[in-house]
Structure 1
Amino acid sequence: MDAGAIQDHIEYLQFELKRPLLVMKAPKGILGCGYINVETCNKTGEVCAIVTGVNTFDDMRKAKVVAASNQAAELGIAVGDTGESALNKMR
């Protein structure tokens, strides 16, 4: 998937830094890479799940969630879920 694309209600965002900053934005929240801070999401009331060690959007879908905001937990998103599973719960 190309950065900036929207498919199946998921917006794909990528910023080139030393490692890519990747975000997949769903209607109810975001799946983000390790650059995103889950504690900030908790403070702002955002639904977010974090995956690490990813370089592509496909990697994000396959990776395991390593952190989830309190609001994400309310949607049933948990550490150990796949990114794909987390995204499905954010639709």
Structure 2
Amino acid sequence: MELQYDRPGHAIGTVNEVTIEGFCLPVPPSNLIFITAPGGFLGCGFFDMRTFARLGMAAVRITGVSTLEELLAGKIAELTESAETLGIKVGMTGYDALLHICSANPHL
């Protein structure tokens, strides 16, 4: 899977025939980084997993990243119970989590 940037800070890609969308927004002194897919979310340290858990969403948090590529390569530090039900685990890479999320929703 390769992200295709259509403008600075915004990329799209496909995983298991599911379209994903990534954002890297400057929030000095850092970046707000996340990737969305139907049925799931990968985000940087800015995001609070309790909010996603209350909404019943599969979501993971990967800390210490500053680009979308680092988000995909980074290790999951925290996740929601909904993400666990998809087979996602702490320590897994963001890309592996995305594979699980997109495999769970192949026709979206």
Asked if 1:7 is matched to 2:13, the reply is yes
Matches within 5 A, 1:76-87: 76-87=87-98
Higher strand share goes to which structure?
2
User: Given residue 70 of structure 2, which amino acid in structure 1 is its aligned partner?
Assistant: D
Establish whether residue 35 from structure 1 lines up as the match of residue 46 from structure 2.
Answer: yes
1:28 positional shift: 1.6
The aligned amino acid for 1:16 is: P
State TM-score, norm by structure 2. 0.79
- Give the C-alpha shift of residue 61 in structure 1: 1.0
How many residue pairs are counted as aligned between the two chains? 91
What does 1:39-54 correspond to in 2, within 5 Å? 39-54=50-65
Larger radius of gyration: 2
Q: Percent identity?
A: 32
TM-score normalised to the size of structure 1? 0.93
CA distance in 1, matches of 2:20, 2:63: 19
Query: What RMSD in Å do the two structures reach over aligned CA positions?
Result: 1.1
- The alignment partner of 2:92 has SS state of coil
Counterpart residue number, 2:69 = 58
Q: Which runs of 5+ in 1 are unaligned?
A: none
Q: Secondary structure at the match of 1:5?
A: strand
Displacement of 1:36 = 0.7
Following TM superposition, by how much is the alpha carbon of 1:78 offset from its aligned partner in structure 2, in angstroms? 0.8
